[in-house]
Amino acid sequence: MERNVIMKQVNDIFIDILDNEEIVIGETTQASDVEDWDSLTHIQLVVAIEKHFKIRFTSKEIQSWNNVGEMVNCIQKKGI
């Protein structure tokens, strides 16, 4: 899948889970840039992304990302 398509789909998941239509994420977006993206909602986002792409992240992967771009790298690595 094209990287920008994945990014768009991840963006839609953020909008749904954080219940905020105005969220726009990019490669360098971090948790501190997005309102309500805390450690708790983070796991909710991760589970929703797993479900959407039918993949499973390891616990280590989940803790390793510093921004959205790194998360998308990880999604792509799983063959998406």
Q: Applying CB under 8 A, which residues contact other proteins?
A: 16-17, 19, 39-40, 42-44, 46-48, 56-59, 62-63
Location of structure tokens 């792409």: 53
Supply the minimum distance, in Å, between the C-beta of residue 41 and other proteins.
Answer: 9
Instruction: Give CA torsion, residues 61, 63, 65, 67, to 10 deg.
Output: 140
Q: Shortest approach of other proteins to residue 75 CB, angstroms?
A: 15
Q: Is the C-alpha dihedral spanning 43, 48, 50, 51 positive or negative?
A: positive
Closest CB to other proteins among residues 27, 57: 57
Shortest distance, CB of residue 28 to other proteins, whole angstroms? 23
Nearer to other proteins, 16 or 33 (CB): 16
Side-chain-side CA neighbours of 20 within 13 Å: the count stands at 12
